[in-house]
Structure 1
């Protein structure tokens, strides 16, 4: 059962705007005291994982070679405390299933063997990134354990290391700080529910955390964009869906720090910030209104199963147990929207869902969804609810309903605190839902199986910083004469290195850029699997075109053939066989002679139409420039 306010229809059937398409208006962010920062988690493209020698490639779940079932428990920190986020996760008592593959996982991922020493390639790359951001390195790097028991780490913790401190983001007006850079192992990938695949577990990633210096939603977006550009400038980070993850930390005056996980879409980051600001403002307003009304959460639980024995609500009809509580003075506030598609009822429902129920009903939204006005009146009468009160229902098995009603009482009481420190997940469109409390200091403790890594000063001094992609873009325009838009596209392309290699080998920059960026995109849209086209194959084809061994016009078809498994040379011979100058001249002379009357009538204007005829005849076997030169000569002969 879902929290019914999230549906597209109101109780009277009126259509509502799709929350995904709503854009929250800008505000005076200085006045509301916005403080924001981001955490960026970027996978590194290394040969091996961080603490073992397994490759860093992902496998399809269908390729699994085994599975393990386990339960995870939270452990106490050195201070004798259990982290609040881990403690809440432990309440689920879920059995965790993990899939593994023999060629991409080992005993380390399965927590059956101690970790190997830290991967030196990943360590060096993390230092290069830190140096690019002007950070100060830590002279001795220690590995820590970060408590994580949601099933994504088989050991119950994630290994992480503080590598550098105190960097800067130059693109933000007035400057913005980078607090820290950590090198850590990535978590296992969730397949579904409590099932995880271990191939991703252990892939090295850097976690870059900014200071809370970002004062507008646009600055958050610009900071994320800049750091992403800087990471890609190394040419040694993984690309594609899921390889970079962005978390946003937000607070306003009178609110609290909230961490929003999994903001994948860069274009949505500013909207996420605006929506969180709106959520915190509305929660503060609701708190103030509750206090003004003298509202209370009455903890008496009512079993109202019999009241809905003959209900038309399919959800309530099939439930074994229906429980209710009365919230004194909450009327109209549980159903109040706090951000697009979300209400206070949604926040309460998030807590209830931790018990396995689908959601809840409340009288701010009833009668609706099969619940009649008469049933609502009986419910209010049975619970003693006054007009200023709100009644919340939850329906499921008795065990789940009892657990959920306890969580509903807990979250309703927390409404008097306004904004809570918590970790939230992003929903489609930019709104968010509760995940767990913010973790505290108790989640970190030392790793005893990995020795510290020393960083000599001379090692740091000798690290070479790569050229930024923005600098490459400018250089491609000034030195290679590329169009600015094409220069931007190729500089930020995953195959930028191939482009530079092609130009170094004598390929014309425009030809190389158009082929590597535009042509590959075009044939991908046509269904070609461009991932199967190697850099060497593209370079071989471009070299052949440059030497006149293949026509530019045939490049798309040749690349499609290569994507289908053909050899480059064989594809060239079949699609663009070499044609001698004599043979080409003969074909063109024949075409011009057969159309001599047209040529005499049109003069040199005949070049365009005849060019099309010749190109069709040659079918991409000859470069268009060569055809054009010979065709001009033949037309001149007829005109003279």
Structure 2
């Protein structure tokens, strides 16, 4: 087993295989199965709540999905925040309507970019989901195409399928009784792109995701920002198992997750080999409350004072391995704890970390004796209410059993540090069944045009608009390239438009301006003011900052609010003359060489109210009079 703090692994030797599932929200006017808008709402705007409890249902073949069954064992109540824009479909109080035409059109554009073969007839399916993220207990999903591909520097990555789905509800917070969700996101059109397991390195996973992301943004019809795109990563190594990691938020996270999962599986296999060599086994769970009758452990004492109990499981041959690190700050014991937490426990204690947390040497010895554990064995315990304690220790015991077998197939959640945590078993085919309320659709790929790729767009901006290559790439890959093209079509100088939309907004964002409040109309009005001579270019950052803080203003009102109404040439000359007279000695000594320093002072005196070219001309003239 590796003992390095940051071990290196040969991914090729270990047989790394990875695939991606990319989930991208579409920026359509309405939701997939109703006419509600797809705009995000503030939970404080909710005007009513819906309460539900969800239970698994059998598939057409009478099977129950393992993941759904485990989810159902967690007794939770789900609260949904509804709004004045929430429709009856989202509340699960009426059947879904027909598939949104705009969403279908965008999805077909994406199919073209991924070289996917589109199906002749698309059927809506129900995917069982009872974690509360959908009021109905299932997600509607449509298979649109299969057998596509993308090219990367490490070779071709096949696209196995392209789905058009409804987005889940947005998790707001955990409550004492369950989970609170917001219905503003439920039903937003979403494409899911699944690759084949063709990826062989962490860098390759990142590059494939980056390529797919670029293709999606090339449509100009996908939502942008945190949470609008999510990446799930499927990872396995030769002797390991397929593990699906959910909710990776960014490209660097993909690379980190693949590296971390390789490490986790390699270390679990090393633990497996050691356990088999020791002929390890998992004993029967039992109550050990009597061992801790007089305990000073705050956690255990708190559980017992609340009427709880302590349960334990002996892990024969596990000594030293439960505490073995399999990822940074995560151990086999953490895996046991993850499973116990799924049933409501706060976690587990185990003898590889005890005595600690107020548990004494004497209590550890008594615990070992109570369950028949020797020096080469370990013991895991749970302290909580009786029902939860029984369920949680059984879950921990089951996970310990799988440690002897190796790496379990499962679904895991991504942590911010590149590690992962257990969520549930891998779902199977038993969670899918037909949606009978929506008729099939017959998609026609010939009805949509293939969009220009973003890298091609950047090259065109350089050639057609004479933009600097770096600025052209910023605009093409940014969120506002459609606005840039609109502005240029209206006669705005391309370089000015591009630098305003990218460089200036970045600058004021760093200064704390909420640039997400800026709408396209704000920029177009501002460009018109500059073109008409009512605002100097130098005043643009301040006006944009004013609009960002108060988006209800028009650009003209923001100019007034910022005190940047245009000045006459006479007022410009008056301000420049004051600067020149104040620096007469410098001009006498340096002549026109003093221009650069005085230009900044003159512009500062005018506070962006005058165009820089006008100020420059007047300043040169006044310096010339004195030199």
The TM-score by the shorter chain falls in which range? Answer: over 0.9
1:161-192, Cα deviation, whole Å (9 max, x unpaired): 00011111112432111111000111111222
- Counterpart in the other structure of 2:159: 178
Equivalent residue pairs, number: 614
Q: Would you say 1:407 and 2:416 are equivalent positions?
A: no
1:440-495, Cα deviation, whole Å (9 max, x unpaired): 1111111111100013xxx4224211111112222233333333332222222211
Return the alpha-carbon distance in structure 1 between the equivalents of residues 554 and 181 of structure 2. Answer: 39
TM-score (norm 1): 0.92
- Counterpart in the other structure of 2:138: 157
Q: 2:327 aligns with which of 314, 339, 342?
A: 339
- Counterpart in the other structure of 1:49: 31
* Match runs of 1:605-620 below 5 Å: 605-620=593-608
The 1:507–1:290 alpha-carbon spacing in structure 2 relative to 1, beyond 3 Å, is same
Return the alpha-carbon distance in structure 1 between the equivalents of residues 585 and 349 of structure 2. Answer: 84
Q: 2:150 aligns with which of 160, 169, 193?
A: 169
SS in 1 for 2:423: strand
Q: Would you say 1:386 and 2:374 are equivalent positions?
A: yes
- Counterpart in the other structure of 1:147: 128
Q: 2:188 aligns with which of 196, 200, 203?
A: 203
The 1:310–1:136 alpha-carbon spacing in structure 2 relative to 1, beyond 3 Å, is same
Structure 2: tracts of 5 or more residues without a match: none
Aligned-pair distance for 1:83? 0.9
Aligned-pair distance for 1:121? 0.8
Aligned-pair distance for 1:280? 0.9
Check whether the contact 1:172–1:223 (CA below 8 A) recurs between aligned residues.
no
Return the alpha-carbon distance in structure 2 between the equivalents of residues 610 and 93 of structure 1. Answer: 72
Q: Would you say 1:488 and 2:488 are equivalent positions?
A: no
SS in 2 for 1:359: coil
Q: 2:266 aligns with which of 269, 278, 281?
A: 281
Aligned-pair distance for 1:582? 4.1
- Counterpart in the other structure of 2:624: 636
1:37-57, Cα deviation, whole Å (9 max, x unpaired): 000111111111111111112
Q: CA RMSD in A?
A: 2.0
- Counterpart in the other structure of 2:555: 568
Aligned-pair distance for 1:591? 4.5
1:277-313, Cα deviation, whole Å (9 max, x unpaired): 11111111111211111111111x3432232223221
- Counterpart in the other structure of 1:303: 287
Q: Would you say 1:421 and 2:405 are equivalent positions?
A: no
SS in 1 for 2:342: helix
- Counterpart in the other structure of 2:248: 263
Return the alpha-carbon distance in structure 2 between the equivalents of residues 202 and 470 of structure 1. Answer: 31
SS in 2 for 1:628: helix
- Counterpart in the other structure of 1:82: 64
Q: 1:398 aligns with which of 386, 398, 406?
A: 386
Check whether the contact 2:73–2:343 (CA below 8 A) recurs between aligned residues.
no
Aligned-pair distance for 1:510? 2.3
- Counterpart in the other structure of 1:8: none
Aligned-pair distance for 1:95? 2.5
SS in 1 for 2:413: strand
Return the alpha-carbon distance in structure 2 between the equivalents of residues 588 and 404 of structure 1. Answer: 78
Return the alpha-carbon distance in structure 2 between the equivalents of residues 102 and 634 of structure 1. Answer: 63
Return the alpha-carbon distance in structure 2 between the equivalents of residues 412 and 487 of structure 1. Answer: 55
* Match runs of 1:19-38 below 5 Å: 25=8, 27-38=9-20
- Counterpart in the other structure of 1:239: 224
Q: 1:122 aligns with which of 90, 103, 115?
A: 103
Q: 2:457 aligns with which of 472, 487, 508?
A: 472
Q: Would you say 1:293 and 2:278 are equivalent positions?
A: yes
Structure 1: tracts of 5 or more residues without a match: 1-15
Return the alpha-carbon distance in structure 1 between the equivalents of residues 595 and 473 of structure 2. Answer: 35
Q: Would you say 1:603 and 2:586 are equivalent positions?
A: no
Return the alpha-carbon distance in structure 2 between the equivalents of residues 587 and 334 of structure 1. Answer: 76
Return the alpha-carbon distance in structure 2 between the equivalents of residues 466 and 431 of structure 1. Answer: 37
Q: Please say which of residues 585-594 and 272-281 is displaced more in the overlay.
A: 585-594
SS in 2 for 1:262: strand
* Match runs of 1:552-563 below 5 Å: 552-563=537-548
Q: Please say which of residues 200-209 and 461-470 is displaced more in the overlay.
A: 461-470
1:526-558, Cα deviation, whole Å (9 max, x unpaired): 333333332222122223324433212211222
- Counterpart in the other structure of 1:7: none
The 1:425–1:586 alpha-carbon spacing in structure 2 relative to 1, beyond 3 Å, is closer
1:82-107, Cα deviation, whole Å (9 max, x unpaired): 1111111112232222221131x121
Q: Would you say 1:62 and 2:34 are equivalent positions?
A: no
Aligned-pair distance for 1:377? 1.9
The 1:403–1:607 alpha-carbon spacing in structure 2 relative to 1, beyond 3 Å, is same
Aligned-pair distance for 1:390? 0.4
- Counterpart in the other structure of 1:39: 21
Q: 2:609 aligns with which of 592, 616, 621?
A: 621
Return the alpha-carbon distance in structure 2 between the equivalents of residues 616 and 153 of structure 1. Answer: 56
